[in-house]
Every structure is written in structure tokens, then in C-alpha cells.
Amino acid sequence: MAAKDSNPAKFSSDRPVFCTVRLEDPVAEKLANRLKADSRAHALFDLWRNLVGQPNAISFVIKPAKDSRSRLHTCVECGQPFTSAELVFRHFRHAHAAKAVKTVEKPIDPPKGSFQFVAKCGLCRALLCPPNYHGFTAKLTAHHQDRHDHVPFDEFRAKVVNSSFPDDIEAWRKAASIVHELHCAHCDQLLADDREAQDHLRNAHADRVAKAEEELLIHAAHVKDLECRDLRRACSEAWDKEKKAPGHFLALLRHALNQKGLQLFRDILGHQFACRHRPRHVSPRDALTPRQQEMLAMTAAPARRGHKPNRHTLRDHFAAQAVSEQDVKGDVDALVKLGLLVEFDNGQLDALGPGSHIES
């Protein structure tokens, strides 16, 4: 993308836009594959919190406001997006000047008269013209508007100094002996100034400068490179809103994981979880061993001091019955695979029942 303009306010139209957050599919696919390889259930909120710091996981979809007939536009040359075509023409004239206009130098008669001084800008040290030259006031005003319009004119005028160096006077004479004509880079039409050049691009070559778009897709990593202040503000506000109340993003994440084949459920507090196997009640048709039935009874019982059993608890419990750790692990894995046992990301085990934390 092109570098930002020195004055961002020039690339703002204050037009309202509608911005929403989108989850990138490659990131969702990678996350789903990682969860499928893990037997534990993970909270969607924790998954969202891990995605916040990944710029490649988020994109912004921007559309014009619903009650507006305006459209969004992008620069044909570099793809830089803007909220209006006028901003695109202004950007194109500055960022792609060589493809907008071409400058042709033509010699003219040198200025006549006796010039002892030449005015020099105190801000950028550019040579203006002698104070007794007939175009001094116009040159001074034009230089202020083109280069230093952020400085009050009186303050700018006070910093203009007169130079009596012969080299400066001779350099000004040479520069004044050449006139720079502006020609359209597309049709070679002669243009009077920058304003006429911009108007000519808009009227005669709009299709070579701006492209209208119904909506824009901007990756989060590229937001900082946007020249249009309205679009940067819309993306920032949308993301700040999601971080405060991530309902929309959680819905996107839930839908994406569900489409990838993962199971989603809630606990009794309403927290959403994702796992490989959906938890379900034990039915008489399930052919479970007595040890597996005992495991389900232990995990379905009310939590003691806020904690449910984990693999270590079951291992220690059945060690007194001379059951090996490998057999306990095999039973737990089998129950998790059947969906009769849920292992959360903190290691605690839970089963549907009167004391379960899982919403039935």
C-alpha cells in the first residue's frame, strides 16, 4: 500500500460506514483440527481470547451505511480503499503522480530587471522570488498553500528571509527561465494546475483511477496502513465493541467450529464449550463395566469444594483396588469417546447427572 499522506484529514469525508468482524476460515480450520486432536472440552471464550492477539485471524467487512446510497471505492493502482471517489482522486494525484500527470519543461525568457535579493522560505529553505518581482505576492501565497498550510500565514510570512548571495539569485533566474506544463498522463491534454488535473481525471479517466465496491474486506493486520481516516475509525470502533461484548464473534466462532464437525454444549452457568464428542446421558443400552459405572457415578456426583474429579483422582481411587493406571486411562478415554464423560481444559471430569455442571 502507498504511504500515508502527511495530513490524514485530507483523506476523510466523515461518511458513516457499517463495519462487522469476520473470522478467517484458514484460522478456524487450524483451530478445529487442533481441537479434534484433543480429547478435552475448551471454553469458547478462552478460544476467542487466544484469537484476539492474532491479526491474521480477524477481518473487517465494511459496507456503506444502510440508509445511505453512497458506495465505497478503491484505487485501481494500489487497491487503497476510501469512502468516496473524491478521496480516491486526491490520493491518486499525490501517491501516483507519475501516472496521473506528466510535467513538461519549456524554456522561456529569463526575468528582466535588477534583483539584489531573493526571498527564501524560512521553513523549508526553498527559493521563492525577489521581493521587487511582480509575482512576489502570488508566489508567496501559492507556496504557503502548497507546502505550509498548517502554519498561519502571518507566522509563515514572518519566517521568510531575503538572501543576497549571488548563487541564490542565479539559481532563481535559471528556475524562472523554465516553465513546467502539466499534461494528462493518459491523453496528453494540457492542464492549468493541480485542481484542473484532478477534475480532468474525475471527468475523463475515472475508470482508470477509482473502482466502486459494494463492500470491502480489510484484514486486521492492514488496518494501520489505511489512509482513509473514516475506515480506520470504523474498524477500531468495531473491534473495541467486540472486545467489550464479544457476542457476534463468539457466534461466528461457534458456527465455524460446528461446521468443522466439533460438538458444542453449555454448562449450567451458560458457558459454551467445544469438544470432539457431545456429552449425553447413560442409557440402559450402554454396555459398561462396573468400573466404568463407578467412574460415571463419581464424576456425576456434586463437586467437593468446587472441584470435580480428574484423571489423577480416579487413578488414586482405583489404585486401592489394584487397578493399573493404564486400565484407568483406557476406561476414561472410552467414556470420553462415547460422550458419557467430558474432560475440560482444566483437567476436571464431569458426566451428565444430578450433580453435573453440564446443561442437559
The reported pLDDT for the residue numbered 6 is 41
The reported pLDDT for the residue numbered 2 is 39
The reported pLDDT for the residue numbered 30 is 92
The reported pLDDT for the residue numbered 325 is 92
Query: Residue 356's closest CA among 286, 288, 273?
Result: 273
* Cα separation, 95 vs 90, whole angstroms: 9
Per-residue pLDDT tens digits of the chain, which is 360 residues long: 334 444 444 555 566 788 888 888 899 999 999 999 988 999 999 998 888 777 788 899 998 877 667 788 898 888 899 988 888 888 887 888 777 777 676 777 777 778 888 888 888 888 888 888 888 888 888 888 888 888 888 998 898 898 888 888 888 888 887 776 777 777 777 777 777 777 777 777 777 788 888 888 999 888 988 988 889 999 988 888 888 888 888 888 999 999 999 999 998 888 899 999 888 888 765 678 889 889 988 888 888 777 889 999 999 999 988 899 999 999 999 999 888 899 999 899 998 887 788 876
The reported pLDDT for the residue numbered 255 is 92
Residue 90 grid coordinates: 486526491
The reported pLDDT for the residue numbered 12 is 59
With b for 16 or more beta-carbon neighbours within 10 A and e for fewer, the 3-42 pattern comes to: eeeeeeeebbeebebebbbbbbeebbeebbeebeeebbbb
In this structure, the strands spanning 263-266 and 216-219 are: unpaired
Query: Residue 261's closest CA among 239, 277, 280, 238?
Result: 277
R_g over Cα of the chain: 35
> Which residue segments constitute the domains of the chain, with CATH numbers given?
109-176 (no CATH), 277-350 (1.10.10.10)
Burial of 187 (0-12, 13-18, 19+ CB in 10 A): exposed
The reported pLDDT for the residue numbered 360 is 65
The reported pLDDT for the residue numbered 68 is 63
Whole-model pTM: value is 0.62
